[in-house]
Structure 1
């Protein structure tokens, strides 16, 4: 219950901040998912979804791509979309002989997609996955690309709750995310950049950051 309350509070903080600073992003957040939608999506995957994810979907059932890229540059997915993408990825004939259920949470399997992974956010064919396989790192967030060429060797963050927390505090308080990610606001929408990994932010974005966090 505490996790659900904290996630709901984080979304409320983000909405309040966006109402003043990023109205385009606020408008991009979808309405809540219904109990029926959440139940149907979870039944389709056969996985026990973390309470923090369910709480998040009860705040916003995903968001519009681009303006709603609030989860460390990725767009949060809605309940039905999560279930649909999970079904597509698990049904796809990837090939290989490894049991797609095999392995512990946080491990990189040789099989391209594990049925214990739940896609929760996306960006142009890349996804953040909740690793719901058993093990000490159960519930951690991984980076994965649907072409099978990209996979994080270690978790991005420890849980979905942590993904929301790091994202919201990065947007509202200017805290850096993984790999030095920095959030700014451009034309009323939240935008993330990787200045340390992929070069400096633009002059316009730096001016926004300077005005917000100096």
Structure 2
């Protein structure tokens, strides 16, 4: 099984070779003490794969479309974004409405907008990629909390490691990640878009090159 560190090595290597300006936007490793402090602040233990990822790159230093899903968050932004979602959720009346209708939580067939045992890994435009920390067979899976909809784990990755491994493999060998394929812009910046796209803001896109060797 490919580890988070091995997947990051492949992603880092691909970016260094083909999109060096994007590689420069990956933040340095998070301080372990900052992770411990964040866990204490949130009252949650970060899963080992998230810690491993943050110890490789503490998010991005600025926005870039270098991942097929949302933009990975720093430790500080994980804390900030989760606290914001928890505050918003206090005013969400969905749970009360379901209770008044006579449906207990275990009988609902969909996810809430937010759950206290979700931990954001990445975010863009208010939409989050979340790691499910609820006990049970779904623990550790990577799903979505959509800002104007409900959370969902339909088609979710079983883990953060699986998502990073798939991203690394598509960069190295081609293919798509949930209907998103990698391109390079005229400025050699990585861009994930739908299959068949040929331009971005009126400027041409070209299929991202492949052929990067596997991590050693």
TM-score clears 0.5:
yes
Equivalent residue for 2:87, pick from 75, 91, 94:
91
**CA pair 134-83 structure 1, distance change in 2 beyond 3 A:** same
Shift of 1:95: 2.3
TM-score, normalised on structure 2? Answer: 0.80
CA distance in 1, matches of 2:114, 2:26: 28
2:163 maps to which residue? 163
Whether 1:12 and 2:13 are equivalent positions in the alignment is no
Contact 2:172 2:210 in 1 (8 A): no
Larger Rg computed on CA atoms? 2
Find the aligned partners of 2:133 and 2:22 in 1 and give their Cα distance. 29
Matched pairs, number: 196
* Cross-structure match for 2:28: 31
CA gap of 1:19–1:182, structure 2 versus 1, over 3 A, is same
Report how far residue 190 of structure 1 moved: 1.5
Q: In the TM superposition, what are the counterparts of 1:119-198 in structure 2 within 5 Å?
A: 119-147=120-148, 149=149, 151-152=151-152, 154-178=154-178, 180-186=179-185, 187-195=187-195
SS of corresponding position for 2:116: coil
2:74 is matched with which residue: 69, 72, 78? 78
SS at match of 1:28: coil
Q: Which residues in structure 2 correspond to 1:198-209 (within 5 Å)? A: 200-202=196-198, 204-205=204-205, 207-209=206-208
Identify the structure with the greater helix proportion. Answer: 1
CA drift of 1:171 comes to: 2.0
Structure with the bigger RCO (C-alpha within 8 Å, sep 6+) is 2
Structure 1 stretches lacking a partner, 5+ long: none
**Contact conserved, 1:139 with 1:160, CA < 8 A, in 2?**
yes
- Matched position secondary structure for 2:122: strand
Q: Determine the structure 2 residue equivalent to 1:48.
A: 45
Let me know the Cα RMSD of the aligned residues.
Answer: 2.4
Among 107, 110, 134, the alignment partner of 1:108 is 110
Deviation at 1:48, TM superposition (A): 2.2
Tell me by how many angstroms 1:76 deviates: 0.6
**Greater fraction of residues in strand:** 2
